[in-house]
Amino acid sequence: MSVSDYKVALVTGASSGVGGACVRALRNAGVEVVALARREDRLEKLAKETGCETLVMDLTDTDLIYEKLAGRQFDILINNAGLGRDHEGFFSSTASEIDEVIDLNVGASIHVVHAVASGMVDRGYGHVVQIGSITGLYPLGMPGYSATKGAIHSFSQNLRLEFKGTRVRQTEICPGRIQTEFFDNAFKTLEQKEQFLSGFTPLVPENIAEAVMYALDTPWSVNVSMIELTPTEQIPGGVSVQKAREI
């Protein structure tokens, strides 16, 4: 399988950023796309630009996921929807903010795969692409958000075992910092967001879409299991040491 063999893709979190870039890349490759997000006005604008189909829904409504998606045939799933809330510090997050991140980043993502990929297994072809994060691979702070992306990393690795013998492929994309609206919700002030993305050249959504298209366009005999991509000036890992405060 390559991109030219696929007919229809579902992209979640499609109204901006990485999701929007993936919609444009897929449409440029001749793939029909269902763009799913909560913001109807953004989706309408994207539809006028690309000719994609739109689906307005809240993925934290589990029943709605199965009602709207389970009966449809998708050859590609770009599982991108997500948000972050504890970039300012885990203990500054409220209980409702923690639940919100877990419900969307983990619960909704898993249910979308369950609803959509079971049809791929039955048909014997398809490709699931999970948009993860390097925060799921390295200790970079943001414990709540990182935990959700760590869950997606484990889910992705184990999903490959579930797809054994089905001809369905699975890819996890793990980006570093991206210049995107994602951080509008991750930080409470514009100053904090600008500081987080300053002093280096961050990735842009098109960089992630290019990685997605690479994974989709390899021959069927090749499964790109994971792609880690970061800004050249962002190096994950390392050791952090700080003397404890006096009591």
Per-residue pLDDT of the chain (247 residues; tens, 9 = 90+): 678 789 999 999 999 999 999 999 999 999 999 999 999 999 999 999 999 999 999 999 999 999 999 989 999 999 999 987 766 678 888 899 999 999 999 999 999 999 999 999 999 999 999 999 999 999 988 899 999 999 999 999 999 999 999 999 999 999 999 987 655 555 566 666 566 667 889 999 999 999 999 999 999 999 999 999 999 988 888 777 778 888 8
Which one-letter amino acid corresponds to residue 56?
Answer: V
In angstroms, the CA 26 to CA 74 distance is: 13
CA 197 vs. chain centroid, Å, equals: 19
Among 204, 207, 212, 209, CA closest to 179: 204
In angstroms, the CA 160 to CA 156 distance is: 7
Contact 31, 6 (CB under 8 A): yes
- The correct answer on CATH 3.10.129.10 for the domain covering 3-220 is no
In angstroms, the CA 31 to CA 91 distance is: 43
pLDDT at 223: 97
Spans of all domains in the chain: 3-220
- Distance set, CA 12 to CA 50, 122, 220 (Å): 16, 22, 24
pLDDT at 247: 83
Residues 6+ apart with CB under 8 A from 135: 142, 145, 146, 149, 150
Active site positions, annotated: 145
- Distance set, CA 226 to CA 66, 160, 211, 214, 215 (Å): 27, 11, 10, 12, 9
